Amino acid sequence: MEINGFGAFAQVVYLRLLPAAPLIELTSRVAQRWPEAPPYGGAFDEVVPHLTVAAGVDDAVADDIRADVACALPLRTVLREVWLVAFDDGQWSPVATFALGESSG
C-alpha cells in the first residue's frame, strides 16, 4: 500500500491510499454483510479510502499541514489489520480489530 498525495473533504485534510480498489472492495463486502450499518451511516454515495490527517481546520491551516507532510511522501506500508471504531459521546473509540491475510505481492 502506498500513501501518496492529498485529498480534502469539507474542513478535512487526508492522505490518499493507493491502490484504493482493494480497500473499496473490503468496505463493500462489509457493507453487504451488515447492511444495517452502512459506511459513514450511509451519508456518502462513494467510499474514499483515506488516512485523515486533520479535521475541522481552515484553509490556511490545511495548507500548512500539506506543506509539512508533503516532504515525507510517498510512504509505503503493509495493512495488517482493520479496526472497527464507533463514534460515541463526541469521540471515536476502538471496538474490535480484525487481522488481514498475507499478501502475495
Q: What sign has the CA pseudo-torsion 74, 75, 81, 82? A: negative
Tens digits of residue pLDDT in 9-37: 988 999 999 999 999 999 999 899 989 98
What SS3 state is found at 94?
A: strand
Q: Look-up: residue for cell 490527517?
A: 53
- pTM as predicted: 0.78
HSE value, Cβ hemisphere, 13 Å, CA-based, for 24: 10
Q: How much is the pLDDT for 103?
A: 57
Computed over every residue of the chain, the mean pLDDT equals 91
| 3-state DSSP helix/strand/coil % of the chain, to nearest 5 | 30, 40, 35
